[in-house]
């Protein structure tokens, strides 16, 4: 009986320690998020935006599309740095983490022969967007 309660306690602790994130976004979901982001904020103008966090990615097989919700942030990179070959994903978020440096995206993406076809919108980040989302 003691062994059973110890095992239950262990799994309960594990559940709470991993409650914030139940999945890591796939490379394809990250690619889709950047397609949405760069549609709204081209990498030819400053500040360069980066994907800070992906909160959800839901695939709809009937319509063959994925809906993403993610937080984007201003980065320390410039268009000139990207032109020199720096990867946008290796850019760092700006040090000043005020709400004005973040935007929250809801985006729908279809995968086509030419790549990703994003449609969506963004809004300024709100205080509750800055909290980690529990799954």
Residue matched to tokens 């022969």: 113
Strand ranges in 23-135 using DSSP code E only, listed in sequence order: 49-60, 65-74, 102-112, 115-124
pLDDT at 22: 55
Task: Please state, in angstroms and rounded to a whole number, the distance separating the CA atoms of residues 49 and 94.
Answer: 10
* pLDDT by 10s per residue, the chain, length 135: 544 444 444 443 444 333 444 568 999 999 999 999 998 889 999 889 999 999 999 999 999 999 999 999 999 999 999 999 999 999 999 877 677 888 888 999 999 898 899 887 778 777 777 665 444
pLDDT at 132: 56
pLDDT at 129: 73
Closest CA to 34 of 4, 64, 57: 57
pLDDT at 21: 46
What kind of fold does domain 24-130 have according to CATH? Nuclear Transport Factor 2; Chain: A, (3.10.450)
Task: Please state, in angstroms and rounded to a whole number, the distance separating the CA atoms of residues 107 and 105.
Answer: 6
pLDDT at 62: 94
Domains of the chain, residue spans: 24-130
């Amino acid at each position: 009986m003691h062994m059973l309660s110890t095992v239950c306690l262990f799994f309960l602790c594990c559940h709470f320690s991993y409650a914030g994130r139940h999945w890591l976004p796939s490379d394809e979901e990250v690619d889709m998020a950047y397609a949405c982001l760069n549609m709204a904020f081209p990498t030819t103008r400053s500040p360069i935006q980066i994907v800070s966090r992906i909160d959800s990615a839901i695939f709809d097989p009937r319509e063959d599309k994925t809906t993403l919700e993610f937080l984007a942030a201003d980065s320390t990179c410039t268009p000139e740095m990207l032109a020199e070959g720096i990867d946008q994903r290796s850019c760092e978020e700006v040090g000043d983490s005020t709400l004005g440096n973040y935007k929250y995206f809801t985006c729908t993406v279809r995968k086509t022969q030419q790549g990703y076809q994003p449609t969506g919108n963004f809004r300024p980040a709100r205080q509750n967007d800055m909290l980690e989302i529990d799954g």
